[in-house]
């Protein structure tokens, strides 16, 4: 006689009943259990505790779970998150690769450092400072020389950056400004907007640069729905619009762009003198080849960096490097 219990699972009678009886039984007897459906997405906006999360093109307005508050973690625009689509809540935040302070945006891939060819005049010192900050934050940089229609003379001032390996694009919005927003695609090929857009593809970008160089105009030209306010910064500040607004991520082709310019030259402070050489990409192939292992490439002899000045390194860039190093050393004394 067989006494041992069967180990295999035999379907119970209730499952063997016909389908319609089973469905009816389910409706009356079984409490509906909503399974959590999780998705991953990108926070594109955050106002008053409500976060806009884009998951594969679908938009969810979510709140953050209390657990974040307890841990004193705030979700930021740019965060990659896991959400529960039933509760519309943010369940998890992926580790950030970087974090910009102004505007508060996480995971920036690339900064479009914008300078004007004129009005205001091209400022190499400020450009170098912004490039150094970007490199220090681990963010790729693209240099955009806007207002190229106002450029007179040669491109000599831009050559050190091309030699250093930075992507450099010259743009002009003169035609866009004259003809409002519905500019023809062929114009955008000629005026550099097309090239800039392709450099921004597939990345989370932020603009940086002094006021008046045309950052807002560029964002409008790239993303016609952006509707950025153009013009005198003092007027904008008086209206208070740009001082209080929250940063938002806008879709740009296959990439994204933050609608508020970021970075300030103040953020270069605090970088130690010995870190600067690695923030100048054209120095990188020669780092480690100096006679003294602690060479700061200033007054030392047999310095591989100094030997390249006038060759693989432009004098103006080396001088700019020295400026940072000496200032950092003074600051640390």
Q: Which residues bind Zn ion (CB under 5 A)?
A: 290, 295, 297, 303, 305
151 binds, among Zn ion, ligand GDP, none (CB under 5 to 8 A by kind): none
Q: Determine how many CB atoms are found less than 10 A away from the CB of residue 95.
A: 8
For tokens 């400020």, name the residue.
Answer: 126
**Residue 322 binds ligand GDP, judged by CB under 6 A:** no
For tokens 């400022």, name the residue.
Answer: 123
298 binds, among Zn ion, ligand GDP, none (CB under 5 to 8 A by kind): none
Q: What is the DSSP letter of 259?
A: S
Q: How far is the CB of 175 from ligand GDP (least distance, A)?
A: 9
The site for ligand GDP, by CB under 6 A, has a size of 18
Q: How far is the CB of 147 from ligand GDP (least distance, A)?
A: 4
Report d(CA 328, CA 256) in Å as an integer. Answer: 35
Q: What is the DSSP letter of 295?
A: -
170 binds, among Zn ion, ligand GDP, none (CB under 5 to 8 A by kind): none
Q: Considering the complex, state which of residue 239 and residue 302 has its C-beta at the smaller distance from Zn ion.
A: 302
Q: Tell which positions 213-272 bind ligand GDP, by CB under 6 A.
A: 213-217, 230-231, 233
Q: How far is the CB of 112 from ligand GDP (least distance, A)?
A: 11
Q: How far is the CB of 214 from ligand GDP (least distance, A)?
A: 3
Q: Tell which positions 88-147 bind ligand GDP, by CB under 6 A.
A: 146-147
Query: Cβ(242)–Cβ(234) under 8 Å?
Result: no
Q: Tell which positions 157-186 bind ligand GDP, by CB under 6 A.
A: 172-174, 177
Beta bridge partners of 52: 45, 61
Residue 164's closest CA among 326, 294, 286?
A: 286
Q: Considering the complex, state which of residue 134 and residue 295 has its C-beta at the smaller distance from Zn ion.
A: 295
Q: Considering the complex, state which of residue 136 and residue 236 has its C-beta at the smaller distance from ligand GDP.
A: 236
Q: How far is the CB of 130 from Zn ion (least distance, A)?
A: 25
Q: Considering the complex, state which of residue 147 and residue 306 has its C-beta at the smaller distance from Zn ion.
A: 306
Q: How far is the CB of 323 from Zn ion (least distance, A)?
A: 16
149 binds, among ligand GDP, Zn ion, none (CB under 5 to 8 A by kind): ligand GDP
67 binds, among Zn ion, ligand GDP, none (CB under 5 to 8 A by kind): none
290 binds, among ligand GDP, Zn ion, none (CB under 5 to 8 A by kind): Zn ion
Report d(CA 309, CA 304) in Å as an integer. Answer: 9
Q: How far is the CB of 250 from ligand GDP (least distance, A)?
A: 15
Q: Considering the complex, state which of residue 99 and residue 230 has its C-beta at the smaller distance from ligand GDP.
A: 230
89 binds, among Zn ion, ligand GDP, none (CB under 5 to 8 A by kind): none
Report d(CA 63, CA 75) in Å as an integer. Answer: 10
Per-residue CA distances from 197 to 189, 191, 203, 256, 272 (Å): 10, 12, 11, 10, 35
Report d(CA 81, CA 74) in Å as an integer. Answer: 12
Q: How far is the CB of 288 from ligand GDP (least distance, A)?
A: 39
Question: Which residue of this chain has its Cβ atom nearest to ligand GDP in the complex?
Answer: 214
Which pairs from 45-48 meet CB under 8 Å and 24+ separation?
45/77, 45/246, 45/248, 45/249, 46/75, 46/76, 46/77, 46/246, 47/246
Residue ranges in the chain assigned as alpha helix (H): 13-16, 19-29, 66-70, 124-136, 159-163, 174-178, 185-190, 193-200, 215-222, 233-239, 241-244, 304-307, 315-332
For tokens 């479009």, name the residue.
Answer: 112
Site residues for ligand GDP per CB under 6 A: 146-147, 149-150, 172-174, 177, 211-217, 230-231, 233
């Amino acid at each position: 006689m067989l006494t041992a219990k069967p180990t295999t699972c035999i379907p119970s009678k209730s499952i063997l009943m016909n389908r319609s009886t089973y469905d009816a039984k389910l409706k009356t007897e079984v409490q509906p259990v909503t399974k959590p459906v999780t998705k991953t997405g990108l926070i594109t906006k955050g106002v008053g505790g409500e976060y806009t999360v884009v998951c594969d093109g679908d938009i969810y307005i979510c709140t953050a779970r209390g657990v974040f508050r307890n841990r004193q973690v705030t979700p930021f625009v740019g965060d990659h998150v896991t959400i529960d689509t039933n509760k519309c809540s943010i369940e998890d935040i992926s580790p950030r690769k970087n974090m910009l302070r102004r505007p508060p945006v996480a995971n920036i891939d690339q900064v479009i450092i914008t300078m004007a060819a004129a009005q205001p005049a091209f400022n190499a010192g400020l450009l170098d400072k912004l490039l150094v900050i970007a490199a220090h934050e681990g963010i790729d940089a693209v240099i955009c020389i806007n207002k190229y229609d106002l450029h007179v003379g040669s491109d000599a001032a831009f050559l050190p950056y091309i030699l250093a390996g930075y992507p450099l694009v010259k743009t002009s919005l003169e035609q866009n400004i004259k003809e409002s927003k519905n500019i023809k695609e062929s114009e955008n090929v000629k005026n550099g907007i097309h090239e800039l857009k392709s450099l921004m593809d597939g990345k989370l970008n932020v603009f940086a640069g002094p006021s008046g160089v045309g950052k807002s105009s560029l964002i409008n030209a790239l993303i016609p729905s952006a509707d950025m306010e153009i013009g005198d910064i003092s007027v904008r500040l008086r209206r208070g619009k740009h001082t209080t607004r929250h940063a938002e991520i806008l879709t740009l082709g296959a990439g994204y762009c933050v609608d508020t310019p970021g970075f300030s030259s103040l953020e270069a402070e605090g970088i130690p003198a010995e870190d600067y050489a690695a923030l100048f990409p054209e120095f990188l192939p020669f780092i480690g080849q100096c006679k003294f292992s602690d060479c700061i490439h200033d007054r030392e002899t047999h310095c591989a960096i100094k030997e390249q000045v006038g060759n693989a390194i432009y004098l103006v860039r080396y001088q700019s490097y020295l400026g940072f190093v000496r200032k950092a050393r003074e600051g640390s004394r």
